[in-house]
Amino acid sequence: MPSATPDVTGDGTTIYDLIPSLKRRHSTRLAAASQPSQDGANNAQDEQDVNASQSSSHLSSPPTEATEPATESKETEVDITPSKRFSFADADVLLRSNDGHEFSVHRCILIAASENFETILRNPPTSSKRRKIGNNTTSLPVISTDETGEELDILLTYIYPRSRPNNVRFRHLSFDILLLDRWNILTIRDDLGRQLCSDVFIQENPVAVYNLAKKMGFVDAQHAALKHLYGISFEGNRQYFLDDGIELTAKDLQQIMMWKKEYLRSVMAVVDGYIVPPINHRNSCTKCVSAKQWCWWNTFKKKLHNWNIFNRDTIDKVVFLSLAATECQAPYGDTYKAIKLLHDSLEKEIDKLPVSFE
């Protein structure tokens, strides 16, 4: 409810003391309007004197205690949307997004999380504003960022000790990694980088995983993505290289193809050097007994040399093709044991092989 006390200027004059003067000015303007024959320059001069007097009164009057500092930002000046998740009552700083979302947070937590935050919080721009929120008696510094409200919300979710987002799609994980990298929050970024090694993300888009891992320096994820690429026919498959986010060049693609050939040669060296264990004569194929090894083994190696990919399924497929070609009569149980032995023995040695060749 407005106060009944009259407004007072800096020299103690109230609005009531100004009424006669205002009446005189009003009468003068009415007289000027009713006498058009008078010199217009005099009327203009009178009005300039009035404006100058009013301006001088404003400049000479000191601000009252209720006046906010010049840097204070009024809530009505900006369309602000407070965060629902990050609006702490004991906040000491306001983070503002580029689309008008505001987060009431804590300086100490932001500074501990990121050197970037420490820089802007300890040395805020001279143009930084302040604003009051809720029933606070003091205003809080406003730190404006170039991030959207959604991006700041994700960033703060990682910074504050709450449950982290559960990313199940590569594009979400990639988005978060790049966001954390922009703010130099490297520990959490590297934690997410290790998740790139998961088959969930690599099978979704191995080229995109390799591209991001290469950019961020996640070596393990790079190798996992490359190994997956060596197990598929990606050459000439446009679906892997049409994504706008892929920064790999034609030279990079050519390098991956050369690495794949070198990797497959290394794999075949492991296969060729593998020593087949002794054959169990009981319930085994007569051809296997005669050859003192799996009768399909030499056929298996020849066929495997003709494959331009290698993965776990490759072993199974080539084994069954070789069994059919040699008409091996070994019981299924013996064949199953042979395949399992190959998986365990070969993969252990193949996992030691390099996947990139600088």
* CATH number of the domain enclosing 82: 3.30.710.10
Q: Is there a single domain that holds both residue 302 and residue 331?
A: yes
Residue scoring higher pLDDT (348 or 60): 348
Q: Is the pTM of this model over 0.85?
A: no
> Is 86 part of any domain?
yes
Q: Is there a single domain that holds both residue 140 and residue 182?
A: no
- Which of 139, 159, 179 is the last residue in one of the domains? 159
Q: Is there a single domain that holds both residue 284 and residue 339?
A: yes
- Which of 102, 131, 159 is the last residue in one of the domains? 159
Residue scoring higher pLDDT (120 or 210): 210
Rg of the chain over all Cα atoms, to the nearest angstrom? 39
Q: How far is CA 132 from CA 73, 74, 96, in A?
A: 8, 8, 14
Q: Is there a single domain that holds both residue 127 and residue 185?
A: no
- Which of 133, 159, 185 is the last residue in one of the domains? 159
In the three-class reduction of DSSP (H, G, I as helix; E, B as strand; rest coil), residue 101 is classed as strand
Q: Residue 238 CB: number of other CB atoms within 10 A?
A: 6
Q: What's the total number of domains in the chain?
A: 3
Q: Is there a single domain that holds both residue 180 and residue 201?
A: yes
pLDDT of residue 249: 85
**81-87 β-sheet, strand order:** 81-87, 101-105, 93-96, 140-144, 129-131
For residue 230, the Cα-to-chain-centroid distance in whole angstroms is 28
> Is 40 part of any domain?
no
Q: Residue 148 CB: number of other CB atoms within 10 A?
A: 14
pLDDT above 60 for 268: yes
pLDDT above 50 for 256: yes
Q: Is there a single domain that holds both residue 180 and residue 241?
A: yes
> Is 256 part of any domain?
no
> Is 199 part of any domain?
yes
> Is 184 part of any domain?
yes
Q: Which residues contact 193 (CB under 8 A, 6 or more apart)?
A: 177, 213, 216, 218, 221
Q: How far is CA 239 from CA 205, 207, 208, 234, 235, in A?
A: 9, 10, 11, 9, 10
Instruction: Determine what percent of the chain is predicted with pLDDT higher than 90.
Output: 47
> 212-216, 226-230, 241-245: which has the minimum mean pLDDT?
241-245
pLDDT of residue 291: 87
* 9 DSSP 8-state letter: -
pLDDT of residue 67: 37
pLDDT above 80 for 71: no
Q: Is there a single domain that holds both residue 118 and residue 139?
A: yes
Residue scoring higher pLDDT (249 or 78): 249
pLDDT above 60 for 135: no
Q: Is there a single domain that holds both residue 147 and residue 174?
A: no
pLDDT tens-place string over residues 197-208: 999 999 999 999
191-200 long-range contacts (CB < 8 A, ≥24 apart) are 192/167, 193/218, 193/221, 194/218, 194/220, 194/221, 195/167, 196/221, 196/224, 196/225, 197/221, 197/224, 199/228, 200/168
Average pLDDT, the chain: 79
Q: Is there a single domain that holds both residue 82 and residue 129?
A: yes
Helix, strand and coil in the chain, % to nearest 5? 55, 10, 40
Average pLDDT over residues 97-125: 90
pLDDT tens-place string over residues 1-60: 444 444 444 444 333 343 444 344 444 443 444 444 444 444 444 444 444 444 443 333
pLDDT of residue 3: 44
Q: Is there a single domain that holds both residue 148 and residue 109?
A: yes
pLDDT of residue 31: 44
pLDDT above 50 for 161: yes
pLDDT above 90 for 169: yes
Q: Which residues contact 97 (CB under 8 A, 6 or more apart)?
A: 103, 145, 147, 148, 149, 151, 152
Question: Which structural domain range is residue 202 located in?
Answer: 170-248
Q: Which residues contact 320 (CB under 8 A, 6 or more apart)?
A: none
In the three-class reduction of DSSP (H, G, I as helix; E, B as strand; rest coil), residue 86 is classed as strand
Q: Is there a single domain that holds both residue 142 and residue 205?
A: no
Instruction: Determine what percent of the chain is predicted with pLDDT higher than 70.
Output: 73
Q: Is there a single domain that holds both residue 152 and residue 174?
A: no
pLDDT of residue 107: 94
> Is 110 part of any domain?
yes
> Is 286 part of any domain?
yes
pLDDT of residue 38: 45
pLDDT of residue 6: 44
pLDDT above 80 for 232: yes
> Is 240 part of any domain?
yes
Beta strands of 113-185 (E only): which ranges?
A: 129-131, 140-144
